[in-house]
Chains A and B, each alone.
Chain A
Amino acid sequence: DSGVTQTPKHLITATGQRVTLRCSPRSGDLSVYWYQQSLDQGLQFLIQYYNGEERAKGNILERFSAQQFPDLHSELNLSSLELGDSALYFCASSVQETQYFGPGTRLLVL
């Protein structure tokens, strides 16, 4: 158990819909990262937050947004969903150089 929690574990929705994925980092970790893993793909970095502020942005679509709240939990919002958004979405929190990953949310867009 990494100490990072993600909800929900599975999500099935339809194209055009909007969903929110939630992540709670390990106690004391200020950084939260979001990643997307599509079939047979590596981990694609989406966005990083540090203590409530956006720190770095990767390959995140304009239809996607995220935020980190004062209690340090983070939410990833995915809107106007397309079939190609079906993937595993991981969040990670870090202390220094090492990231600790949550179990992921499996999103299926039908």
Chain B
Amino acid sequence: DQQVKQNSPSLSVQEGRISILNCDYTNSMFDYFLWYKKYPAEGPTFLISISSIKDKNEDGRFTVFLNKSAKHLSLHIVPSQPGDSAVYFCAAYSTGNQFYFGTGTSLTVIP
């Protein structure tokens, strides 16, 4: 039961442009959403999160948008940099329950 889905396995973007990574979920009880970034041979690292009571959270070049009616969240990276090339996982969580992760989107930023 894939409660969190990332339908794009890969994305290529030119340096300096915007990267938009998407994530859909099915469980309306999720109350917290997170994005993680993963480089090869390393564990995922926390990037940014958003509570279900908000629709936007911004941290530097990274912004997460949450559309609860569509059960959709997205991560915007602007401007994209070559160092952003990594696999990005979205995750969702409801208090007292487990985290659910998507299958990841591999982002390549082309110099």
- Asked whether A25 is an interface residue with its Cβ less than 8 Å from the other chain, the reply is no
Q: Indicate whether A98 sits within 8 Å of B101 (C-beta atoms), given known contacts A42-B89, A43-B89.
A: no
Number of B interface residues, CB 8 Å? 22
Find chain B residues with CB under 8 A from A6 CB.
43
Q: Which A90-110 residues have a C-beta within 8 angstroms of B? A: 90, 92, 97-104
CA distance A43 to B41 in the complex (A): 14
Least CB distance from A96 to B in Å reads 9
Complex-state Cα separation, A100 to B89, whole angstroms: 13
Contact of A42 among B43, B46, B49, B102 (CB under 8 A): B102
Q: Are B99 and A45 in contact (CB under 8 A)?
A: yes
**Cβ of A100: which chain B residues have Cβ within 8 Å of it?**
46
- 20 new A-B pairs (CB below 8 Å) besides A33-B99, A43-B44, A101-B36? A35-B101, A40-B103, A42-B6, A42-B103, A42-B104, A43-B89, A45-B99, A45-B100, A58-B98, A90-B43, A97-B32, A98-B34, A99-B34, A99-B99, A100-B46, A101-B43, A101-B45, A103-B43, A104-B41, A104-B43
